[in-house]
């Protein structure tokens, strides 16, 4: 708490008022939580990072890898951060706690996103308290915040990007300036942006920020398939011994990522594929899942592993008993047929179960 002592002896009333206003302004700025003032930004750099109520206190939310958080005060190995994002308005309700405006009402949890239908920031459990950030909304979404603590080892600083521009030192106006004749345009050197080669021994990742899959030597020719921010998806050819391979069932695709389904949903519609998923819960379709028949049962799962996004698996009621026997976060292998590679609101793949091939606890 900031203690302020003001000496007013010998001052007129007209002089006292500006001083008091200045002191009140200073006290307000000092009392505001550091994390709410902007400051440096940090990216969650590990899987399964936790958001804590206080330093070494209770874990209250799971953060998504890659989420960006404004950081503030530090205590030893801890940093205070601002959790900010958007959540479905139907997934929150009024709070009876004086320190929060809203509580998460959806069971077992709901996603907090960086923007409406944007990338995930955190998983919030039922009862999680939030402050309404502003009256702004887009109908289905509410802008919310909460301050908490994260272990510093789970965060990586993000460098600020400063835009620069060459200064114009000419004193003449555009109409007065004398410009030399422009040089004759030269035809650009043709390049093939779909071909690349590593500049150094490069680590290959299965998915962005995911587990490593190996290394690529500097003389390996690569074909560029797509780009997303700082990541580039590449393809290269090589040879392995046939005895080291497991042949996929006829007509079933393996190795297809959820990112591929989102990028080309029409290409994979109706295709059968095999995925390893992390079981979360059995749920019923509602108005927020218009791509799934209303009232149908579906399994909410994370994956396909090692991806951290979500997948909806539509399961006939007659086969739900096999999933009810699974515990949350168990890894399961399924064969499914793609119904929709990208759902309407959240962009999650929707598949119809063909078979459940087993669940193995982590």
Here the tokens at position 265 are 């949903």
Percent of the chain predicted with pLDDT > 90? 38
What does the pLDDT look like over 146-162, one tens digit per residue?
999 999 999 999 865 44
Size of the chain, expressed as the number of residues it contains = 362
Pairing state between β 78-88 and 68-75: antiparallel
The distance from CA 339 to its chain's CA centroid, rounded to whole angstroms, is 24
Express each pLDDT in 206-257 by its tens digit: 667 666 777 777 668 787 876 766 778 787 777 777 677 766 677 899 888 8
Confidence (pLDDT) at 187: 52
Looking at per-residue confidence, does 100 or 361 come out higher? 100
pLDDT(290) > 50: yes
Report CA Rg, the chain: 27
Contacting residues for 167 by C-beta, under 8 A, at least 6 apart: none
Cα–Cα distance list, 311 to 209, 296, 321, 334 (Å): 19, 15, 19, 12
This prediction has a pTM of 0.42
Pairing of strands 350-360, 310-314: parallel
CA 195, 239, 209, 117 torsion-angle sign: positive
Task: Note whether 252 and 335 are within 8 A (CB).
Answer: yes
Nearest-angstrom CA–CA distance, 135 and 126: 22
Alpha-carbon gap, residue 80 to 151, rounded angstroms: 9
* Position 264 confidence tier, pLDDT thresholds 50, 70, 90: confident
The H or E element spanning position 149 is strand 141-151
C-alpha to C-alpha distances, 256 to 193, 212, 271, nearest whole angstrom: 24, 17, 11
Q: Which residue has the higher pLDDT, 347 or 189?
A: 347
3-class DSSP assignment, residue 35? helix
pLDDT at 344: 84
As a whole-number percent, the residues of the chain with pLDDT over 70 amount to 72
Best CA proximity match to 253, nearest among 350, 348, 339, 335: 335
pLDDT tens per residue, range 175-204: 444 455 555 555 544 545 677 878 777 888
Q: What is the mean pLDDT of residues 91-108?
A: 91
* DSSP secondary structure, 115-126, as one string: STT--EEEEEET
Model pLDDT, residue 173: 40
- Using pLDDT thresholds of 50, 70 and 90, give the confidence band for residue 298: very high
| Cβ pair 146, 130 in contact under 8 A | yes
CA 122 – CA 110 distance, rounded (Å): 9
Cβ contacts of 287 within 8 Å, gap of 6 or more: 294
Mean pLDDT of all residues in 285-301: 89
Residue that is written with structure tokens 């308290």 in the block: 129
Band of the pLDDT at 32, cuts 50, 70, 90?
A: very low
Closest by Cα among 50, 54, 144, 35 to 95: 144
Cis peptide before 306, with omega less than 30 degrees from 0?
Answer: yes
CB 262 within 8 A of CB 332: no
What does each C-alpha distance from 64 to 60, 68, 308 come to in angstroms?
A: 13, 9, 8
- Smallest CA-to-CA distance from 147 within 225, 251, 39 is with 39
Residue 31: DSSP 8-state: H
Instruction: Give pLDDT, residue 168.
Output: 44
CA 203 to chain centre: 22
């Amino acid at each position: 708490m900031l203690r302020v002592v003001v000496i007013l002896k010998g001052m007129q009333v007209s002089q006292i008022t500006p001083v008091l206003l200045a002191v009140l302004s200073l006290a307000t700025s000092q009392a505001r939580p550091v994390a709410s003032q902007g400051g440096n930004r940090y990216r969650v750099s590990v899987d399964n990072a936790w958001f804590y109520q206080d330093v070494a206190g209770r874990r209250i939310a799971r953060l998504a890898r890659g989420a960006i958080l404004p950081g503030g005060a530090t205590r030893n190995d801890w940093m205070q951060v601002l959790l900010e994002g958007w959540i479905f308005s139907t997934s929150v309700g009024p709070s009876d706690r004086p320190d929060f405006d809203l509580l998460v009402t959806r069971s077992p949890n709901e996603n907090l996103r960086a923007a409406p239908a944007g990338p995930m920031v955190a998983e919030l459990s039922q009862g999680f308290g939030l402050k309404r950030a502003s009256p702004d909304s887009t109908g289905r979404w509410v802008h919310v915040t909460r301050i908490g603590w994260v272990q510093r080892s789970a965060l990586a600083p993000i460098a600020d990007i400063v835009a620069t521009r060459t200064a114009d030192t000419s004193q003449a106006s555009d109409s007065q300036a004398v410009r030399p004749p422009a040089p004759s345009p030269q035809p650009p050197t043709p390049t093939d942006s779909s071909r690349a080669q590593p500049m150094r021994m490069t680590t290959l990742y299965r998915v962005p920020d995911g587990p490593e899959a190996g290394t690529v030597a500097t003389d390996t020719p690569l074909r560029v398939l797509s780009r997303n921010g700082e990541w580039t998806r590449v393809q290269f050819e090589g040879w392995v011994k046939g005895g080291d391979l497991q042949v996929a069932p006829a007509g079933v695709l393996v190795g297809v990522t959820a990112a591929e389904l989102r990028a080309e949903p029409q290409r994979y519609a109706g295709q059968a594929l095999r995925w390893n998923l992390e079981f979360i819960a059995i749920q019923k379709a509602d108005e927020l899942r218009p791509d799934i028949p209303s009232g149908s049962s579906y399994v909410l799962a994370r994956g396909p592993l090692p991806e951290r996004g979500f997948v909806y698996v539509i399961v006939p009621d007659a086969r739900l008993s096999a999933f009810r026997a699974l515990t949350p976060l168990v890894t399961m292998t399924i064969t499914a047929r793609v119904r929709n590679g990208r759902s309407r609101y959240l962009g999650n793949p929707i598949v119809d179960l063909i078979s459940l091939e087993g669940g193995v606890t982590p």
